[in-house]
Structure 1
Amino acid sequence: MGGRGRSRRTQRKHFRDGRENVWKTKKSDSQEADGSNNNENDSNGNNTNKPTHWQPFAIENAAFDEYYKEQGVVRPEEWGSFIECLRKPLPAAFRINSSSQFCTDLRSQLEDEFMKALLAEGTDGNEAEGIKPLPWYPNNFAWMSSFSRMQLRKNKNLERFHEFLKQENEIGNITRQEAVSMVPPLFLDVHRDHFVLDMCAAPGSKTFQLLEMIHQESEVGALPNGMVIANDVDVQRCNLLIHQTKRMCTSNLAVTNHEAQHFPSCRWKKNNTTNGSDLGDMSMTELLFDRVLCDVPCSGDGTLRKAPDIWRKWSVGMANGVHCLQLQIAMRGLALLKTGGRMVYSTCSMNPVENEAVVSEILRKCGGSVELVDVSSELPQLVRRPGLKSWKVRDKGTWLGSHKDACKYGRSGIVPSMFPSGQPHVDTSSDENGDNNNNDNDDVLVTEVSSLPLERCMRIAPHDQNSGAFFIAVLHKISPLPVIQTKSSKHSRQPQSDSDEKTKQSEDIKAMDVDVKNEESNEATNPCKKLKGTEPEKTETLNDPKSRAEKANDKRKLQIQGKWFGVDPVVFFKDDAILTNIKEFYGIHESFSFTHRLITRNSDTNHVKRIYYVSESVKNVVELNFLAGEQLKITSIGLKMFERQTSREGTSSPCVFRISSEGLPLLLPHMTKQITSSPAVDFKHLLQYKSIKFPDIVDDRFREKVAALALGCCVVVLNKGNENEGEGASDRPKVDKSTIAIGCWKGRSSLSVMVTAVDCQELLERLLIRSETQKESLAEDAIKAKETATVG
């Protein structure tokens, strides 16, 4: 969410608790009306006004009420419940990572433990529902909690549930996400082999959801053929996106930093020179996507329950100001979409100017090449409302029913695409003889009605299922888009009308020199994409000699990624000596491909600290990007697989690169060396004490196996039963989806874990829950056996 500062947190706190602020002086009604100063002085010049308590944070706006009543977003008889719901705090929602090893365990824990234990707590005594699964989300993997954050923190009975949420969220087993924000990815219909583009991805909860879909039902040690490119315009928000998606531990993700409306096409013409590249025959010549998520920056008034400060900031200009940008982004997304592909356009706004108006213009521009999909039969338990067919535009206090009205009142900033018909006004006020044909009906406001099937769009109202508000439209690309002639220059950034939008169609895509000095900032994200003024990016192109000279004087040497200055490069790691050493030390099967799969972010390959692994799909995109002139500005890519061990003991190991905890699940099935199994008692000791001396190892056989390992990084796998315990049993444990393993470091006299304290605590709790479940299962089996014997 944009603007995560102290002031916003304080405002939310006032909104929840109704606390009063003692630091602000309250003005009288008359002074507030005329804007006069409330400071009064006595005869000695002293201020006689003492600070007084003020009312709780305002959660109403007369202009908001007038606007949405007129637009008819809900029926008049519903308005009371609609506005009442908007003034209540939003329930917390979270989603279980469906690709997590413990997803079913977490769901069982929520259903059997927390759901029952918290049922009696309720919220305010009126809704005794505690936590419950969202009925429309598949497999009960999404949940909603009726408890506020303040209740979770202060109520001792809820403390364990709160700690559970924090811990599992940090690890990546669950993701906190607004309920309606989970909806758009579900309508994308993503499969394992799809290339997916998330155009405005930060902060990354939807990207995480898309990655789950890509990885669902993946075999152990295998990677899906698809991938996700997550893009955001703001460098700092890209860092937030990287932090969010890092918990997924995936090699099928690349994070880029571009203006969404100018996302590079990355097209390679085979007759171009490759500068001596040995990349071989390319299967990809252009970067197009099977699925595109276009969750655009918006005014965000659908998030009023979560961000109540929008009440006082809200104005119709917020929506009018982003309409053209939203249209540009959506058209660019369709240009990058493969024929037969699907794009979801969504906002967390209720304003038809940002929603139906944009979809209408998309359909008009694309003709019959794009259709609006009817998805009313999908997710039947999700309560949704049809899109609007008619709406008005308001500007500077005036209602406008058509573009004719905008011209009449001289509203140059109001473009035809904002209206249902999308037709520009043609002045026919005078005939050939100069006679004025205006009639008295010109003052009558006539609201246009769209002829397009906008009822196929979805509006989610907050009072239908106790959520935020959202708008979703599903578009299907039937054929290549028609070439649209534009009047704007190549480097135009600010559209003056609907015909000035900067759109490149798939038939006429050229490699673009993207200007990274942004003249617009769409840093906002859904469901709270905050719109603010111009903010230039922190990276500059090599074509700017002034910036290059200034940076040359910097003490810290900045990296160069192709034409992008100040961005870490993407380099294929090809040091055969190090790769051979890694393969031999860990006994990695030849079937696990390292060819063009290892990436470093350091141009100096002699001082590589981290090595990343990328999937086949990501590798193809990187190779295409090289051949296309590095059009993509990549801020993060791949899965951290190996990390240089810099400790004193690390340098004495036969292999100085250790396996990272993120890369271990992928590499584990392909290892034959430096891996051993441990009984539960020693495995729990490792998690509990982080390091144990060899004499303190309880199991003799495990001690012998650890002693036989080479000095350095190793992997300890938890024994599920009695495997590998008998004579002649293989030292290599079996690996499947249920395998629990941790990376360790074998020193000269001790064995130490190389995972975080949070991970250790989470694993300990998982083992405890599993142990209790097994005991209960054994007890039930014993009772059944006893009953059977008695009957016999």
Structure 2
Amino acid sequence: MRAAADCAAFYAALQRPLPVAFRVVGADAKSEHIRRSSETGLLIRQEVVSMLPVQLLSTVLPAGPLTLLDLCAAPGSKTSQLLELLSARPTADREESLVVANDLSPSRVYMLLHRLRYLIQPCLLATREDSSAFPFLKQADGTEVQFSGVIADVPCSGDGTYRKTARLGNTWRVLKAMKLHSTQLKIAKRAAALAKVGGHVLYSTCSLNPVENEAVIDALVHLAEGALEVVKTQVEGFAHRSGLVRWPVMLEGKPYFDSKSVPPETQKLHNVPSTVFATGNPALANCLRFYPHDNDSGGFFCCLLRKKSAVPWEEAVRAASANRMTEA
């Protein structure tokens, strides 16, 4: 992004209207071509980059029944993709599978269910929980549910959506990412705890700010102490850039590359988390950045992680979940 021509192309792309994209649900291989309107659920309006998390996750999901969690699910586009993905599997696998769609806001959960009303399957469970505190679930026999795949499309500043939300330019502030970073990291940590060993977490945002993206992954992998690895992947036919390994953190118009260089008064004023600064982890290059001028799309960030072993905070999450069940 440093080359002048690249920056000019990026800026020019932001000035063009975003193309409208639709995803045609193909759950039934012999379904009629667009036999109803989008109200029936056959035609779903969804931005192209928003389809990427499920597309990437689908490449690493195992055969057989699946347990899938969409931690920040509303308005439901990604959940609908997960349901469609399951619908292509054998009936026996579908009957043993589970898709959990979660959101914190009651109104957003309502929107989620409204959008999925024509796609609802017996395997779908909708929940209303704080994503950063989502508990371990138990089956009727007391068996703990651990997920084959978890999507954490976290709340973000949305600066990648400028092409469809031009008014964002009037309210966007660089420090907004700083305020979101800690929440994003908490959600990512919870996603990692809930995934089964050998399972995957797909972290995504519609932001291009590394404080909300690579910095979160950098901190997550560091805290996991070897339990998580960033998976090298790609979307065939869709251009991407490698994740950043080093980035400046902008504070009061000045770039900082480590916490020690931030003046004490600036640190106190903005409460800057140490985790927003890069550690130089080369694995971050496996993250995927999608720029508006590369695919005539919105801006987006994805990172696919594989869980190699239990994360250090997993038992604390399990204990907190048990306490909630006892109190209930």
| Fold shared, TM-score > 0.5 on shorter chain | yes
Q: Distance in 1 between matches of 2:304 and 2:273?
A: 24
Whether 2:299 is the aligned partner of 1:405: answer no
Structure 2: which amino acid aligns with 1:185? V
Q: Secondary structure at the match of 1:291?
A: strand
- Structure 1 position 504, deviation (Å): 6.1
Structure 2 segments unaligned to the other structure (5+ residues):
none
Structure 2: which amino acid aligns with 1:239? Y
Q: Distance in 1 between matches of 2:261 and 2:48?
A: 39
Q: Distance in 2 between matches of 1:298 and 1:211?
A: 25
Structure 2: which amino acid aligns with 1:181? S
Structure 1: which amino acid aligns with 2:157? S
1:343 aligned residue (195, 201, 218): 201
- Structure 1 position 169, deviation (Å): 1.1
Q: Distance in 2 between matches of 1:266 and 1:479?
A: 19
Q: Secondary structure at the match of 2:267?
A: coil
- Structure 1 position 451, deviation (Å): 2.9
Q: Distance in 2 between matches of 1:400 and 1:504?
A: 36
2:218 aligned residue (351, 356, 360): 360
Partner of 1:608: none
Partner of 1:245: 116
Partner of 1:168: 37
Structure 2: which amino acid aligns with 1:451? N
Q: Distance in 2 between matches of 1:204 and 1:74?
A: 36
Task: Show CA shifts across 1:242-282 (max 9, x none).
Answer: 011112031110110011001122359xxxxxxxxxx6xx2
Pairing 1:111-150 to 2, within 5 Å after superposition = none
1:455 aligned residue (270, 273, 285): 285
More strand by share: 2
Q: Distance in 2 between matches of 1:507 and 1:222?
A: 27
Cα RMSD (Å) of the superposition?
A: 2.2
Q: Secondary structure at the match of 1:80?
A: helix
Partner of 2:191: 333
Task: Show CA shifts across 1:294-320 (max 9, x none).
Answer: 000000010111111101111101111
Distance 1:462 1:504, change over 3 A: farther
Q: Secondary structure at the match of 1:399?
A: strand
Whether 2:78 is the aligned partner of 1:206: answer yes
- Structure 1 position 229, deviation (Å): 0.4
More helix by share: 2
Distance 1:326 1:85, change over 3 A: same
Distance 1:505 1:76, change over 3 A: farther
Structure 1 segments unaligned to the other structure (5+ residues):
1-72, 110-163, 269-278, 422-449, 484-502, 514-627, 632-792
Whether 2:232 is the aligned partner of 1:304: answer no
Distance 1:332 1:308, change over 3 A: same
In our comparison, the structure showing a higher alpha carbon Rg is 1
- Is the Cα–Cα contact under 8 Å of residues 331 and 362 in structure 1 kept in the other structure? yes
- Is the Cα–Cα contact under 8 Å of residues 136 and 318 in structure 2 kept in the other structure? no
2:245 aligned residue (376, 389, 396): 389
- Structure 1 position 409, deviation (Å): 4.1
Task: Show CA shifts across 1:211-269 (max 9, x none).
Answer: 111111445x994321110000100000000011112031110110011001122359x
- Structure 1 position 507, deviation (Å): 6.2
- Is the Cα–Cα contact under 8 Å of residues 480 and 506 in structure 1 kept in the other structure? no
- Is the Cα–Cα contact under 8 Å of residues 360 and 420 in structure 1 kept in the other structure? yes
Q: Secondary structure at the match of 1:328?
A: helix
Distance 1:383 1:476, change over 3 A: same
Structure 2: which amino acid aligns with 1:455? A
Q: Distance in 1 between matches of 2:56 and 2:3?
A: 27
Identity of aligned residues (%): 35
Pairing 1:244-643 to 2, within 5 Å after superposition = 244-266=115-137, 282=141, 284-376=142-234, 379-412=235-268, 413-421=271-279, 450-483=280-313, 505=316, 508-513=319-324, 628=325
- Structure 1 position 466, deviation (Å): 0.7
- Tell me the TM-score normalised to structure 1 length: 0.39
- Structure 1 position 101, deviation (Å): 5.8
- Is the Cα–Cα contact under 8 Å of residues 94 and 177 in structure 1 kept in the other structure? yes
- Tell me the TM-score normalised to structure 2 length: 0.91
Distance 1:100 1:243, change over 3 A: farther
- Is the Cα–Cα contact under 8 Å of residues 163 and 298 in structure 2 kept in the other structure? yes
1:177 aligned residue (32, 36, 46): 46
Q: Distance in 2 between matches of 1:451 and 1:465?
A: 27
- Structure 1 position 192, deviation (Å): 5.3
- Is the Cα–Cα contact under 8 Å of residues 264 and 512 in structure 1 kept in the other structure? no
- Is the Cα–Cα contact under 8 Å of residues 267 and 511 in structure 1 kept in the other structure? no
Distance 1:173 1:337, change over 3 A: same
Whether 2:114 is the aligned partner of 1:186: answer no
Q: Secondary structure at the match of 1:255?
A: strand
